[in-house]
Chains A and B, each alone.
Chain A
Amino acid sequence: MNGTLLVGIVLVFGIAGIIIYAVGIYNTLVRLSNNIDKAWSNIDVILRQRHDELPKLVDVCNSYMKHERETLEGVTKARSACIRGASVDDKAKAENELTTALGKLFAVAEQYPDLKANQEFLNMQQRISALESTIADRREFYNDSVNLYNIRIEQIPAIWVAQQTGYRARPLLTVAQSDREDVRLAFANRAA
């Protein structure tokens, strides 16, 4: 075998190998990035379901919790803010406020035994609690997806492919400081 042929074989296989490997890394980054977008959209789907349940919940509570208008209005306002939210960040804030408002509502509902015995209210409460759990799971899943992506684009040799193709680190979903604090509740019918 002559030298030219040997050099040719080594070069062809070497360069083809590098191209195939780089394309493989790029395709992985595409998949990881799309997984993040999908995880984000899946959170949106459940949030929308939660918005749809809330008017029914407020209706059921209205007839029993006549003196807790502030609490009920808080839920309604927060829901409207979620729907109106223009940017992703506005929506995220509004959703957090809605979660807080719902937590207050369910805590206040404990003071109304008639409401607690209402089957429709119980079903709604269960449904919304299940949705809240799903939202929490999907947020964790979103963060897992972002974490996998961020790790991958910082590993060698994917970091070189990522830098050249414009893939940058994505932020995780974080909890706002206000959500870490305990919520203080005021009951309209609390005995003095």
Chain B
Amino acid sequence: MQCPNCQNDLVEIPTLEGPQLDVCPSQHGVWLDMGEVNLFVENYRALEEATKRAAAPAVGTPLSKCPRCGDPLDPESVLETHLFACPACHGWWLPRGSLTHLNATARGSAAPIRFNETEFYTKAEKKRSMSGPMDSKGDRGQSRTAPRSQEVWAWTLFFGGALLLACFILFAGIRKSVATAHWAQAPDATLLYLALGVMGGMGLSVYGFVMNNRKHLIESIPTCPIRSLAVGLVEVSGHAQPEGDLLRAPFSGMPCVLFSYTVEERRGSGKDARWETIAKGTSPEPFFVQDTTGKVLVVPFDAQLILPDNRTTRNNWLGTLPEQTILGLLKLGIAVDGWLGEKTIRCSEACILPEETVYVLGTAQENRGAADSTENSARLYIGSSRDNEFIISDRSEKDLLSRLRWQVFAFLTGGPALALLCLLLIFKTYGTAVR
């Protein structure tokens, strides 16, 4: 929309009174759509009466066209205030000072309406100088300011150039080292471990970035009421409920709606003894998440489970496993007896209990088999998708973020520190310059 006086783009300013106000940044006036003026005057009934009586045109500089619909504006005088009205869309153009005068003339309610018109013009001027081409009311909510490509390119060239220069310096340093250094001692197993340490440190850094992305993803999606879920990536929180009968956790027999387990066996002996994972899995049965607005089905296939409370059972000092654990292992098809007696086995399980608070971040999809229904419990389910994360946790979003924050901190500081330390040790121990 453009100012009828100077044809500059009008700037949208939020106001405490409610509507976004269209203001000329050159301080020529403000535009009010039909009805909006009522929010700036206390006695809007008096204004309404006065508007009906406003017949005699005021003396004023004729203006060209309505910012909203382009029709010619009619000069009018309402409550001794000079303004311009559009006969088509019934909006008003109030020259500078007219809105304040109208507010002062139409006083009288118990709730005072006070504002500073000068402040609107100051904000409009500031907003115009900050952001360049103005977005009008017609674009509100739909527009996305495009990145300023010139600035992005300038920074890209700057950092690209700096990185290139740094690479040249690094390359020069490597050449100098290679030309002038020799091995202070022959490469041995320690060098290999240090090299692995460097790679491990870099791997930890990469993992830290992955954790950081996951943290940002969880932070950037608001929790959605289940009643109004839309198809796509969603985040819900509520109480877990079974779809059918309750499940039984494999090793403890605890009734639950979801369980995951890991079975490890001790193999080898003496210094070579180690725990090897021989089985792991998650219950495939879907379950419901219910909040105060409704419930939705969650299909846990391919979900990343964050269930920190693990229960672990293992052989006692006599080398025997609890009976419940043996039954669970046999159900899973895992033999407990080795050729020297019972195997040394460690079983971990985690589960989500009925009515336990659960957090789910996943992709809401249409349930194709469901009958046509308005209820999300029938129409949609939350499951995995190739493009999005799928996380199920018995922790709240706040706890999850707190854990992730610590993990990100640990990996992003520890990883580079380890890599740098190992690199320095390699150079210090194995490389020395000769002149």
Contacts and interface: CB of A to CB of B under 8 A. Distances in A.
A2 B222 contact: no
Given A15-B166, A141-B224, A177 B177 contact: no
A186 interface: no
Contacts of A35: 220-221
Interface in B410-435: 416, 420, 423-424, 427-428, 431, 433
Given A1-B428, A24-B212, A32-B220, A165 B148 contact: yes
B197 interface: no
A168 B145 contact: yes
Contacts of B137: 87-89
B38 interface: yes
B148 A166 contact: yes
A2 B180 contact: yes
Contacts of B146: 166
A166 B167 CA distance: 30
Contacts of A148: 219-220, 222
Chain A interface, DSSP helix/strand/loop, else mixed: helix
A50 B224 CA distance: 21
Given A12-B167, A166-B147, A89 B138 contact: yes
Contact of A173 (B141, B148, B433): B141
Contacts of A156: none
A128 to B, nearest CB: 11
Interface in A1-59: 1-9, 11-16, 18-20, 22, 24, 28, 31-38, 40, 42, 45-46
A131 B4 CA distance: 41
Contacts of A154: none
A20 B177 CA distance: 28
Contacts of A127: 374
B230 A37 contact: no
Contacts of B20: 89, 171
A71 B372 CA distance: 31
Interface residues of B, number: 65
Given A38-B230, A144-B222, 16 more contacts: A4-B172, A8-B167, A11-B165, A11-B166, A15-B163, A31-B216, A31-B217, A37-B144, A40-B141, A40-B142, A86-B138, A148-B222, A165-B151, A166-B145, A171-B140, A171-B141
Contacts of A92: 141
Given A28-B220, A137-B228, A167 B145 contact: yes
Interface of A: 1-9, 11-16, 18-20, 22, 24, 28, 31-38, 40, 42, 45-46, 86-89, 92-93, 127, 130, 133-134, 137-138, 140-141, 144-145, 148, 152, 164-168, 170-171, 173-178
A2 B18 contact: no
Nearest to B36: A176
B224 A4 contact: no
Contacts of A46: 228
B177 A164 contact: no
Contacts of A18: 159
Contacts of B176: 2, 4-5
A2 to B, nearest CB: 5
A35 B235 CA distance: 13
Contacts, number: 162
B138 A88 contact: yes
Contacts of B165: 11
Interface in B58-101: none
B354 interface: no
Interface in B229-254: 230, 232
B382 to A, nearest CB: 16
Contacts of B427: 1, 5
B374 to A, nearest CB: 6
B213 interface: yes
B209 interface: yes
Nearest to B173: A5
A171 B15 CA distance: 11
Interface in B369-387: 374
Contact of B173 (A6, A45, A175, A176): A6
Interface in B300-329: none
Contact of B19 (A33, A130, A176): A176
B169 A37 contact: no
A167 B147 contact: yes
Contacts of A89: 20, 33, 137-138, 140
A178 B209 CA distance: 49
B18 A174 contact: yes
Contacts of B173: 2-9
Contacts of A24: 209, 212-213, 216
